[in-house]
Amino acid sequence: MRIVVIGYFHGDASQNGVRIAQSWSRQGHSVLTLDFNLYDHLTPLVKFNPDFVLVTMGRSFSPLKLQHIRARGYYLANWVPDEYGYNDAHGGEWFEKIKGYYNLLMCETTGIIQGLQDNQVADEVIHIPQYFDPYYHYTTDKRGNFQQDLGFLGEANPDQSSVRLKFLTQLAAEGYNLKVGGMRWGETTAGTSLPQQNFLGGGLVNGEMARFYRRTKIGLNFINDHLPDYELALSNRAFKTIGSGCMLLTHELKGLEQLLIPGEHCVVYNPHDYDDLKSKIDYYLKNDEERERIALAGQKHVLANFGIDKVTAGFIDQIKARLR
């Protein structure tokens, strides 16, 4: 197929548009990439004459440009790797701006779909899962040579999670071998802060992230509990952790079994119960064989079912079925 992907192409290669375009090229499709900041999108798009156009989120992308693309008769799709719905402050304003322009919204959070459909944001709204990119997160490191018992990569984000910083601070205070990396970790919330020795000194990208997780016994994930319950989603961090070969300890989540089977592909804890989190950590730090069995089974499952090429081939299948 001939595809135009509009996204961020002048930044780092971690951007979704870059990796989705690369994936489709690997699958033999002809792909033209256009950066969000390009002044004129329509001229190269019309010259290329794609079968469809995918926009990778694009909160700041001009609705007027979407209108012009749609008016030319091109099929417009958007992948929404986000957990904010129509009635949320971080989502509603954007969804209102794009209303009526997209033929298809593909959402990784099932809980927001009904609201988008009810408000007729797009012609159709469907679920598409997150992906793990083994080409981007590539390392030759084998699982083992552990440097930390617990690891977390991501922002402190106290505006999203009431427990993330709190629980990590408690684990550090109790002397767990814990390392965290990401942005905004200099912030403090409600008198809590992490000691400097627990910082990695910034985020990790590419193979660095995979290498970190392969050298971490347990990768942690925390709930974003400042959103309505129906919108809670499994962060892409889960797939990055498992796909890199680390055992994931994540919060309980309705519908998780559709993606990952607890006890087989990951381990879950009560999202607001620190004692439950701690007891699971202590158990799997002591039971190496069981922990590594789950880590390996989870990695095989993610690579087989949520690898980027399989997920983006699913994008194509969904769109092809609607182009007939």
Is pLDDT at 185 greater than 80 in this prediction?
no
CATH of 2-131+307-323, one of 3.30.530.20, 3.40.50.2000, 3.40.50.1220, 3.90.660.10: 3.40.50.2000
pTM for the full predicted model: 0.92
Query: What is the band of 10 on the pLDDT scale with cuts at 50, 70, 90?
Result: confident
Give per-residue pLDDT as tens, 14-28: 899 999 999 999 999
Is pLDDT at 183 greater than 70 in this prediction?
no
Q: For residues 199 and 190, which has the higher predicted lDDT (pLDDT)?
A: 199
Q: State the Cα–Cα distance between residues 162 and 182, nearest whole angstrom.
A: 17
User: Where is average pLDDT lowest: 96-100, 166-170, 178-182, 242-246?
Assistant: 178-182
Our measurement of the distance from residue 248's CA atom to the centroid of its chain's CA atoms, rounded to an integer in Å, reads 15
Domain boundaries, the chain: 2-131+307-323, 148-305
Rg (CA), the chain: 20
CATH of 148-305, one of 3.30.420.480, 1.10.510.10, 3.40.640.10, 3.40.50.2000: 3.40.50.2000
Give the residue-averaged pLDDT of 38-43: 96
Q: State the Cα–Cα distance between residues 26 and 132, nearest whole angstrom.
A: 15
Percent of the chain with pLDDT over 70: 94
Predicted local distance difference test score (pLDDT) of residue 71 = 96
Predicted local distance difference test score (pLDDT) of residue 293 = 98
Query: What is the band of 234 on the pLDDT scale with cuts at 50, 70, 90?
Result: confident
User: Where is average pLDDT lowest: 39-48, 111-120, 194-203, 267-276?
Assistant: 194-203
Residues 6+ apart with CB under 8 A from 210: 137, 138, 139, 141, 244, 245
Give per-residue pLDDT as tens, 77-87: 999 988 888 88
Q: Are 323 and 51 in contact (CB under 8 A)?
A: yes
Domains 2-131+307-323 and 148-305 share a fold: yes
Q: Where in 45-190 does DSSP place strands (E)?
A: 52-56, 75-80, 104-107, 124-127, 148-153, 178-181
Give per-residue pLDDT as tens, 252-305: 888 889 999 999 999 999 989 999 999 999 999 999 999 999 999 999 999 999
Query: What is the band of 161 on the pLDDT scale with cuts at 50, 70, 90?
Result: confident
